[in-house]
Amino acid sequence: MTATLSLHGISKSFGGLNAVEDVSFDLPPAVVTALIGPNGAGKSTIINLIAGIFAPNGGRVMLCETDITALPMFRRACLGVARTYQTPQMIHGLDALGNVMAGAYRFGSHGLLTTIFMPWVVARENSEMAERAAAALRKAAVPEIWWDRRAVDLPYGIQRRVEIARAIAQGPKILMLDEPAAGLNPAETAEIGELLIEIATDGVAVLLVEHDMPLVMSTATQVVVVNFGRRLAVGSPTQIMANPEVVAAYLGADVSADDEVFA
């Protein structure tokens, strides 16, 4: 199976700190891959390197066999790289539907001159973007009663779903989620896990960064473990749970996997 995205020896340093060092792994299509590790292990930096927020000091980022290492963020987004954040990033002043339409507009094709001289064409495109956004909101199971509410006033759990819907509206090849279960109750967390599996089933490569180990182990097919900026292990959830190096990295000691670190 050809990977949707591949990291080849990616590295990033900040001054004298090697935040990520020589990390390589593949994100297959239609698979949820979890990226886990202790605090400060380099997980968020890896997401930022894939998204184009940071430029690497070494290595390559390949999307569907195209080198995107030097491309800016907006070009990567147009090629199908989408993400969510540790804290939901809502566009102030827009309702939930408007926030999701912002993601859909990567499929827009009209600019200022068309807006001025052919407003009816822009109106038709706006209607198409609204339909795409509505489909994404339904996919993310956001009840319609929230669609016309200001996004910043929505309940936290709904904001999480709206942000995921905005990423879905981009038509992503890869969707990266940075701790989507943070602040959610167990029922909401389980629902997010089901949603991620459903998104992956549509052929999207999903990269999940998460500290909630039950969510990781019930959702991911592949798990990548990083520690001190380096890749420690890659495998199935069962293999990772039984890996003594992974257990030691989480507890800082040489212990047995039977101690239920991932419970």
For residue 109, the model assigns a pLDDT of 52
Instruction: Compare 249 and 255 and report the one with higher pLDDT.
Output: 249
pLDDT exceeds 70 at position 255: no
For residue 108, the model assigns a pLDDT of 53
Query: Could you tell me the pLDDT band of residue 114, with boundaries at 50, 70 and 90?
Result: very low
223-243: pLDDT as tens digits: 999 999 999 999 999 999 889
Is-contact 23 230, C-beta < 8 A? Answer: yes
pLDDT exceeds 50 at position 113: no
- Residue at token pair 């990291």: 7
Query: Tokens at residue 27, please?
Result: 């994100």
For residue 81, the model assigns a pLDDT of 96
Q: Which CATH superfamily is domain 1-80+172-263 in?
A: P-loop containing nucleotide triphosphate hydrolases (3.40.50.300)
Query: Could you tell me the pLDDT band of residue 104, with boundaries at 50, 70 and 90?
Result: confident
For residue 123, the model assigns a pLDDT of 57
**What's this model's pTM, rounded to 2 decimal places?**
0.89
Residue at 220: amino acid letter: A
End-to-end, the C-alpha distance of the chain in Å comes to: 31
CA atoms within 13 A on the CB side of 222: 17
Q: What is the average pLDDT across 83-112?
A: 82
Q: Report in angstroms the alpha-carbon separations of 195 from 116, 121, 154, 160, 184.
A: 40, 34, 19, 12, 14
Longest dimension (CA), the chain: 70
Which residue ranges does the chain devote to CATH 3.40.50.300? 1-80+172-263
